[in-house]
Chains A and B, each alone.
Chain A
Amino acid sequence: MSTNRHPIEQEELMAYLDGELPTDQATEALSHLELCPECQTLVADFRDLSQELMAWEVESPEVGIPSQINAALGERLQKREAAKVSSPRLENRVMTSRWVWVGALAIVCVAVGLKLTLTSRNRNEDRSTAYPSMASIEQYLMLDRNAEIAMARSAAPEAISDDAKILVLGWRGYETAIEGKNGFVCMVERSWMSPFNSAEFWNPKVHVPLCFNPAAARSILPLTIKRTEMVLVGLSKAQMIDSIKAGFDNKELQTPEPGAMCYMMSRAGYLNDALGHYVPHLMFYFPLTDKSSWGADLPDSPVTLNPQFQGGPEPITEFVIPVGKWSDGTAAPVM
């Protein structure tokens, strides 16, 4: 391949495929690719090669945190707590004057009190043990159906959610509360849409209002429906994972349609104990892709890779982009 006929080198084509070219060069590469059968063949070869390398899969045994790591972790956290309480500067001050001694004593009291408060709070918020198994189903249901409809609608601006189909969670799964007109579907997801390894997978406080656009309603919503149905009939996580994998294998489930996204702009949501209401944002769904293709998680990038499906049975990549306003138009906190 000569540079006379091809404005870009083969190596640059490879970098383009890897998402490693600057925008202007990537645009040039794409324009050339559309016209050059020779380069299209090369690109296809590189893609095939990458696909073939994926045949070398490594199955990791399923284990929890080993005792050796747990012990080291406990030791480090204990040392850190101890270091917070005893401060050399404080000890020096204690020796200087009576008044300082009294003041220091007061500080110690406050510090100890604060430590006790934090310890107590941490114990309450210990996400590794707080939600070890499924709570009773009624704890996940919202008794006030109208409240759930309102919360679902709050996921997107009224201009969208007013004409959207609304689903609410019932004893047997999601039910249609209101038929829609615009192809959007709004609902409130529960904790089991978290990653399977999430410590909050069974947190009944989690209420995640969202509005799927039509493409996501067709390709992403079925995942929510399926997980929910499996949870409500009492399947184990392992059974659910197997069933989801089988669902993709037999085409019952599908990867995201082009353009699949959802609105998550409700100030009423509770994503989990760590994030609380979080910030209003949009989510975009793709078949598995490298986060670098969106510049996700890079310094100052507004795009974040959502771990919801990372490492899970669903071959989906999900990007999050915060927006500046809640669905009611009021300003949101800066992330």
Chain B
Amino acid sequence: MTSDEALMLEFQGGSRAAFEELFARYRKPLYGFFERRLNNPDRAEDLAQETFLAVIRAASRYEPRALVRTYLYGIALKLLAAERRKFLTSSTSGQSAPEPKTDGTPECALWVRQAMEKLDAPEREILMLREYEQLSYSDIAELLRIPVNTVRSRLFRSRLALKSYLESEAKTKPALRASTAQPHPGRRGMQ
């Protein structure tokens, strides 16, 4: 029942158990954050770990006015940006980024991923932060340093664009769309 923020303060006060609880709560969500954006399980695991290492190193600087969830994804976004810069640098120097791993990925998941890739990057990021990281509009605005109204309008545009794309694809792959429309009891949908 302890909130994330209370755990973070306990950790600042020297509690290992509080950190372990935060690790248990956020390891999978952080892994998912990186995996969906990089399509590389190994790097996703590494970067999720780096996020926690950053939390440990900067624990004394955490202030309870920020939600721990927002704080963690703020770190994750910075690590993601650095990772992308690294690949950009390596690709301009002749190395190419690794191919996304698709082995074992269900076809319906691939379909959603491909649809996501059709969106503009800023709109895609907002949509993912909302749908997968379940952040509020104000959390997203704070993380991306844009007004809340901009978050809302971009989110609306991205959902409409995605809906349109999925509908046009469904005409050619009706069976596939039907399979993605099944309820997923362990996950949150829009309420």
**Which residue numbers of A lie inside 8 Å of B, CB to CB?**
10-11, 14-15, 17-20, 45-58, 60-61, 63, 65-66, 68-69, 72-73, 76-77, 80-81, 125-128, 195, 197-199, 245, 248-249, 255, 271, 274-275, 278, 288-290, 292-293, 297, 304-308, 310-311, 313, 315, 320
A selection of 29 A-B contacts at a CB cut-off of 8 Å is A14-B152, A15-B137, A45-B163, A46-B190, A47-B190, A50-B131, A51-B184, A52-B180, A53-B112, A54-B187, A55-B106, A55-B184, A57-B109, A58-B35, A58-B36, A60-B27, A60-B35, A61-B45, A66-B49, A69-B23, A69-B53, A72-B53, A72-B56, A127-B17, A198-B21, A255-B185, A292-B136, A308-B1, A311-B28
A307 touching B1 by the CB < 8 A rule? Answer: yes
Cα A306 to Cα B106 with chains together (Å): 32
Q: From known contacts A72-B53, A128-B16, infer whether A320 and B1 are also in contact, taking CB-CB under 8 Å.
A: yes
Contact A11 B16, beta carbon cutoff 8 Å: no
Interface 0/1 of B97-131, CB less than 8 Å to A:
00000000010110111001000000000000011
- A68 CA / B166 CA spacing, docked (Å): 42
B24 within 8 A of A: yes
B65 → chain A closest CB, angstroms:
8
| In contact, A278 and B1 (Cβ under 8 angstroms) | yes
State the Cβ distance, A134 to closest chain B Cβ, in Å.
Answer: 19
Residues of B within 8 A of A255 (CB): 185
Closest B residue to A78 using CB positions: B14
Kindly list 4 other residue pairs between chains A and B, CB separation below 8 angstroms, not including A15-B152, A80-B14: A19-B191, A48-B181, A57-B184, A126-B17
Within the complex, which residue of B45, B162, B186 is in contact with A315, where a contact is CB–CB below 8 Å? Answer: B186
- Is B19 part of the binding interface, using a Cβ–Cβ cutoff of 8 Å? yes
B contact residues around A53 at 8 Å (CB): 112, 131-132, 162
Q: Does B83 contact A (CB under 8 A)?
A: no
- Interface assignment of B59: CB less than 8 Å from any CB of chain A: yes
Most buried by B among A48, A52, A249, A307: A52
A23 to chain B minimum Cβ distance, whole angstroms, is 16
A49 touches B166 (CB 8 A): yes
Q: Do the beta carbons of B56 and A55 come within 8 Å of each other? A: no
Interface residue SS majority, chain B: helix
B133–chain A nearest beta-carbon distance, Å: 11
Mark contacts of B168-191 with chain A using CB atoms, 8 A cut-off: 1 yes-contact digit, 0 otherwise. Answer: 000000000101110111111111
The distance in angstroms between the C-alpha atoms of A81 and B15, with both chains bound, is: 11
Q: Could you tell me which residues of chain B, from 1 to 32, have a CB within 8 Å of some CB in chain A?
A: 1-5, 14, 16-17, 19-21, 23-25, 27-28, 31-32
Nearest residue (CB) in A for B160 is: A10
- Tell me how many residues of B have a C-beta within 8 Å of chain A: 63
Q: Is the CB of B156 within 8 A of A14?
A: yes
State the Cβ distance, A163 to closest chain B Cβ, in Å.
28
What residues of chain A lie closer than 8 Å to B188, measured between beta carbons? 54, 288-290
Known contacts being A65-B23, A278-B1, is A56 close to B113, with CB within 8 Å?
yes
The answer to whether A306 touches B1 (Cβ under 8 A) is yes
Q: Say whether B180 contacts A14, CB under 8 Å.
A: no
| Residue B73, interface by CB 8 Å | no
Most chain A CB within a 10 A radius of its CB, from B19, B132, B189: B189
Known A-B contacts A60-B32, A69-B49, A297-B4; the reply to A197 vs B152 at CB < 8 A is no
Residues on B with C-beta less than 8 A from A248 are: 185
B142 → chain A closest CB, angstroms: 14
B159 lies within 8 A of A49 (CB): yes
B residues 45-99 in Cβ contact with A at 8 Å: 45, 49, 52-53, 56-57, 59, 67
Given contacts A60-B31, A126-B16, contact A271 B112 (CB under 8 A): no
Instruction: A54 to B57: give the CA distance in the assembly, Å.
Output: 34
Please tell me if the beta carbons of B49 and A68 are within 8 angstroms of each other in the complex: yes
Which of chain B's residues have a CB closer than 8 A to the CB of A125?
17
On whether A197 and B185 interact (CB within 8 A), knowing A49-B159, A292-B136, the answer reads no
A200 to chain B: closest CB distance in Å? 9
Q: Which residues of chain A have C-beta atoms less than 8 A from B156's C-beta?
A: 10-11, 14
Closest to A197 in B: B24
Whether B184 lies near A54 (C-beta < 8 A) is yes
How long is the Cα–Cα vector from A19 to B135 in the complex, in angstroms?
Answer: 11
Smallest CB–CB gap between B162 and chain A, Å?
Answer: 6
Cβ-defined contact, A17 with B190, below 8 A:
yes
B35: chain A residues at CB < 8 Å are 58, 60
Nearest CB of chain B from residue A257's CB, rounded to whole Å: 16
Partner of B56, one of A69, A199, A271, A305: A69
